[in-house]
Chain A
Amino acid sequence: MRLLPCGDRAVVAEFGDAVDPAINARVRAFAYSLQQMSHGGVLQVTPTYRSALVEYDPLTLDWDTLTALLHEADRRTTTLRLPAPRRVRVPVCYGGEFGPDLESVCEHTGLSQDQVIARHAGAEYLVYCVGFAAGFPYMGGLDPALVTPRLPAPRTKVPAGAVGIGGQQTGVYPMELPGGWRLIGRSPMRLFDAGRQEPCLLQSGDLVTFVPIDAAEYERVAAAVATGGYAVERA
């Protein structure tokens, strides 16, 4: 673990320099361990791909005490029992008006629409971290055969729930945002809703699978989501 100062109120605890599930697991274990220690001077822990940003109160934690605390949190990860990863099923209606770029992904990859859908829905994706926008999951695990470059010019508006491929990444837009990923489908689920008890559907460490649905099922789930009557499928 490397500790990199960020001014007087934050420090980065870095565990490697690669997008790698094992490094990310160490980051998550460290963040969990530090949170379990419940030190009042630790204000916020933000786990990302290969490091965690730790914000602290310099009035209660000087540098030596802080670094001792962080090393202790890291040591405890070896014996800590981590919560099991959550498995979340995200329904997606692929292609057509729901996935206007599916055709261009087929052209680039040389696969048929059914093959792209089968491969995309056939994998399990690790949520490395959530960031960039509220509820936006950075996921890994895309089938290499589906890798497709981003659009030459990003869209100014991508609708909430859009499922896209951008290079080696895939993900779901939590809200309407500008974006350059190729949109292959759309989920009726809302990844982020500030008014919900649990605003964010996904968290770092979750394992996600996409479940193909048709347009009628999309409308049914969307209506249930809108009234708060949709139960997220978790395992």
Chain B
Amino acid sequence: MSGPNGFKVVAPGLLTTVQDLGRPGFQSIGVTESGAVDSYALRLGNWLLLNTEDAAALEVSLLGPTLQALRTTAVCVTGADLGACLNDEPLPLWAAVKVVPGDRISFSGPRRGCRAYLCVAGGFDVPPVMGSRSTDLLGRLGGLDGRALRAGDLLPVGRPSRPTAALAGRRVPDPFVPDYPDELTARVVLGPQDDFFTPAGIQALLTGTYTISPQSNRMGSRLDGPAVEHSRGADIISDGMPLGGIQVPPSGQPIVLLQGRQTMGGYTKVATVISPDVGRIGQLCPGDRVRFTAVSVGDAHRIARAEWAHLDQARRTLLTLPDPGTAPAPVEPQPAAPAPGGQPTAAPVAPAAGVHQLRVRLAGREFAVTVEEA
């Protein structure tokens, strides 16, 4: 059973799909993981609207759709800057905005990043399939009959947790808004099949600059650059395909596997992009550049923990933002503390003992992180 229709699709855009945090757990029966490529942007948009983090949003790729609002509600666009507009006026990103029936949301074109997330209070309420509303374009599951949006589609929305007036005007504080650079260095762990490559091939991967190919899609970011040379062929007995795996077909041109990948494949994987950097690669546009640097598994785990702490900090901050119209949200040095007049909701944060502040530098950005003792 779906909620009432919230939007009508006037024009579908290049590739607009319903996505949530994906459909994990069915890889052993061949079902693609799916889900938002930039899960950070999806989560923050949902928290800002006081949705559950796995509420479904529209993943908008490069050239966005035009939608007509059918109800009064709050929306929030996070992720890439694709020129979001409300009635042809620029729509602030990372901010909850009220829409009323007849309003038009459109996108004027990509400026920074590749994928934007249009979140709505209550989430897009298409029927869940195997526990997820994500669109699996390969398996034709979830979303709207397993396909991208089409003109004329009606998009049902779920029940918001709060009235629109309590949501509109909320804004993600700047320290939690990523920049979407057109060039980045992604960290990788070598393997699982690095022993299928020559030392020169691995050297090429770790020193070369790769350009995102226009053939990229939700299955993978295809790269053009120095060939990664195999030592004993590109084919292996088909095995599991991890998120972020860097698959190298006979051409030597790598493919970084994203959320829409198949579950099994028969090409060697020279290295695997660590999880915090996969979404960043997925935000690179055709023509953007990426380099790779190798880290150990232990380093990758430390980075993943710091990223998780940053994400948790974002969650606490967004769920305890003051009501719109009152004082701006405190961000540093103690963003976790509820502001006076704030409305703690799903996860109220009690000022706790054993709270440590630290600053973390990741991908050239510096974050304030609060770590609490268990």
Contact = CB atoms under 8 A, between A and B. Distances in A.
Interface of A: 4-12, 14, 17-19, 31, 43-53, 55, 58-59, 62-63, 129-136, 138, 174-175, 192, 194-195, 199-200, 203-204
B139 A7 contact: no
Given A6-B245, A8-B189, A199 B130 contact: yes
B141 interface: yes
Given A5-B297, A51-B239, A132-B238, A44 B25 contact: yes
B364 interface: no
B29 A203 contact: yes
Contact of A131 (B245, B262, B274): B262
B240 A46 contact: yes
A9 B300 CA distance: 9
A43 B139 contact: no
Given A5-B297, A6-B242, A44-B25, 16 more contacts: A7-B242, A12-B192, A19-B237, A46-B27, A48-B240, A53-B241, A58-B305, A62-B301, A130-B29, A131-B27, A132-B30, A138-B238, A192-B29, A194-B129, A199-B29, A204-B28
B263 interface: yes
28 contacts: A4-B191, A6-B189, A6-B244, A6-B272, A7-B188, A9-B243, A17-B237, A18-B237, A19-B237, A43-B24, A44-B27, A46-B27, A47-B28, A48-B238, A48-B240, A49-B237, A53-B27, A55-B27, A58-B300, A131-B262, A132-B262, A133-B262, A134-B29, A134-B31, A135-B30, A194-B130, A199-B130, A200-B29
Contacts of A51: 239-240
Identify which of A7, A11, A55, A58 gathers the most chain B CB atoms within 10 Å of its CB.
Answer: A7
Nearest to B136: A134
Contacts of B164: none
A116 to B, nearest CB: 26
B28 A203 contact: yes
Contacts of A52: 240
Given A46-B263, A48-B238, A132-B263, A6 B27 contact: no
Contacts of B305: 58-59
A121 to B, nearest CB: 25
Contacts of A63: 297-298, 301
Interface in B281-314: 297-298, 300-301, 303-305, 308
Contacts of B263: 46, 131-132
B209 interface: no
A133 B297 contact: no
A6 B192 contact: yes
Nearest to A129: B264
Given A6-B192, A49-B238, A134 B141 contact: yes
A48 B301 contact: no
A44 B27 CA distance: 8
Given A62-B301, A132-B264, A7 B28 contact: no
Contacts of B140: 175
Main secondary structure of the interface of B (DSSP, over half): mixed
Interface residues of B, number: 47
B130 A5 contact: no
A125 to B, nearest CB: 17
Contacts of B269: 6
B273 interface: yes
B304 A58 contact: yes
Interface of B: 24-32, 129-130, 136, 138-141, 188-193, 237-245, 262-264, 269, 272-275, 297-298, 300-301, 303-305, 308
Contact of B308 (A17, A59, A138): A59
Identify which of A8, A12, A133 gathers the most chain B CB atoms within 10 Å of its CB.
Answer: A8
Nearest to A7: B272
Identify which of A9, A11, A31, A50 gathers the most chain B CB atoms within 10 Å of its CB.
Answer: A9
A119 to B, nearest CB: 25
Nearest to B262: A132
A6 B191 contact: yes
B192 A5 contact: yes
Contacts of A7: 188-189, 242-245, 272-275, 300
A136 B26 CA distance: 13
Contacts of B274: 7-8
A199 B139 CA distance: 12
Contacts of A53: 27, 239-242
A200 B30 contact: yes
A165 to B, nearest CB: 18
A131 B139 CA distance: 11
Contacts of B30: 130-136, 174, 192, 200
Contacts of B188: 7
Contact of B304 (A6, A31, A59, A174): A59
Given A8-B297, A133-B30, A49 B242 contact: no
A70 B341 CA distance: 50
Contacts of A136: 30
B26 to A, nearest CB: 8
Nearest first, the 4 closest Cβ-Cβ pairs linking A and B are A53-B240, A131-B264, A7-B272, A4-B192
